[in-house]
Structure 1
Amino acid sequence: AEHGERFSVLSEEAGHRSFGADYPLVLVDPVDGSLNAKQGVPLFGLMVAVLDGPTVADTYAGLVLNLNTGEEWRALRKQGAWRDGKPLQPLQRSDGRRIELLGLESTPRALKRAQPLVDRSNKIRILGSMAISIALTSAGGFDVFCAPIPVRVFDTAASLLLLSEAGGVASDVQGQGLDQLRCNLETRTTLLCASTRELHAEAIEILRAPQ
């Protein structure tokens, strides 16, 4: 702002701050996975997203930084995604619809609500950092990441751009798109992210099947 740039910043800690313009809007979560940090669990990250409008579809730059390892994911809308400076290339798989590794949001209720996916997955991981979990999904580390309890859209903006630019797919658990959701501190949604369209379709089918 000192050099004439005009923008706004939104964070949980400082709320909404305008520096002369509504957009670009910079979303900042300095410690995603704050309970991990508080408890001494070394898995938490920085999330920064830049938007030219109010919704998920308006995110044009995203950064996720693992504050413990220094690993960095970046994405630019319609230009690609990078992991430590190298283009993201999801892992090659022999069975395109098999869920080898499922990531889950960390509340106990999430485990119960995602039980159909848990039952069909080879292994599960609960990291406690949503930004890093979705970033890992964009690289194929997780085949699927699910947050069956509504989470803040604000916390997901950078990672959802990473996922999209890497060729992954995200929706809510009903399969509805996220693009028109507002990136603020109030809007919440369930999440179903997958590294490929085939895995996303498989996960939706599992969740829709009669239990």
Structure 2
Amino acid sequence: MTAKMTTTQSQFLMNLSHGLSSQRNLRADNRVPSSSCQITRKNRSWALPVSLKVEKFQLQRGTRRRGSPCLVKNGIGDADGIIIVDHGSRRRESNLMLEEFVKMFKDKTGYPIVEPAHMELAEPSIKDAFRLCVQQGAKRVVVSPFFLFPGRHWHKDIPSLTADAAKEFSGISYLITAPLGLHNLLMDVVNDRIQHCLSHVEGDADECLVCAGTNKCKLYNSS
């Protein structure tokens, strides 16, 4: 069962990485409209960030100053650090799961600097992760919220905590990406969870890695 779940997770990350790579290689004037492109600021006020500014690198793709890291304008280079931040929990098991996801993400993408962070309740904090990225040579830090939708934490809390972390350093730019949101691959993930849990309660599958040992994945009867 563990092998099956690992394959599913790896396939999800591989598809995600391939999709992002394909998008970067498309020229803007040749892009094919998709369902995600139909959600705009005009018809969905929450679809696009309105309060976050993206600082652009001055160096072009592939250019490098002697003795300095290579800065990539439209992708992740060895001068970029990534922070994957979740809410944080008092449950140690939940926090360890983020660390495991970050390891999987780093192995799959090959990005050199990737750190986990918790917004609150647990360590490492966003400030801790930001410092670790800079210590490893990052000149630009990309903060990726491991949240489903753009609520208060994305609009206010994470930007505030990241700005506070950046104050310790000069010459470091940072970006806060959109949360997971309405992404087609999430439909596959949700469906996989539903199908597996149904198989488990019917006795055809073991508990998944998330539910293992919790005795939560069971069928309840209303009184």
The question of a shared fold, defined as TM-score above 0.5 by the shorter chain, is answered with: no
Q: From the two aligned structures, give the one with the greater strand fraction.
A: 1
Which has a greater percent of helix?
A: 2
Q: TM-score, normalised by structure 1?
A: 0.27
TM-score of the superposed pair, with normalisation by structure 2:
0.26
